[in-house]
Amino acid sequence: MNIEPSAEHLAFVQGLKSRKRMVSLLRGSILIGFFLLWEAAARFGWIDAFIFSSPSRAVSSLWRMILEGSLWNHLGTTLLETLIGFILGTLIGLVAAILLWFFPTAERVLDPYLVILNSLPKIALGPVIIVWVGSGMSSIITVTLLISVVSTTMGMLTGFREVDGEKLTLMQSLGASRLQTLTMCVFPASTLSLISVLKINVGMVWVGVIVGEFLVSRAGLGYLIVYGGQVFRMDLVMGSVLILCLLAALMYYMVAGLESLLKRRLAE
Please write down the HEC assignment for all residues of 13-77: HHHHHHHHHHHHHHHHHHHHHHHHHHHHHHHCCCCCHHHHCCHHHHHHHHHHHHHHCCHHHHHHH
CATH of segment(s) 52-267: 1.10.3720.10
Q: pTM for the full model?
A: 0.80
Stated as kind and residue range, the H or E segment containing 174 is: none
Task: Give residue-wise pLDDT tens across range 212-235.
Answer: 888 777 888 888 888 888 888 888
Task: Give residue-wise pLDDT tens across range 81-113.
Answer: 889 888 898 899 889 888 888 888 888 888 888
Distance (Å, whole) CA 14 – CA 19 = 9
Spell out, as residue ranges, where the chain has pLDDT lower than 50. 1
What are the extents of the domains in the chain? Answer: 1-47, 52-267
Distance (Å, whole) CA 183 – CA 1 = 38
* Alpha-carbon distances of 243 from 144, 220, 250, rounded to whole Å: 19, 11, 11
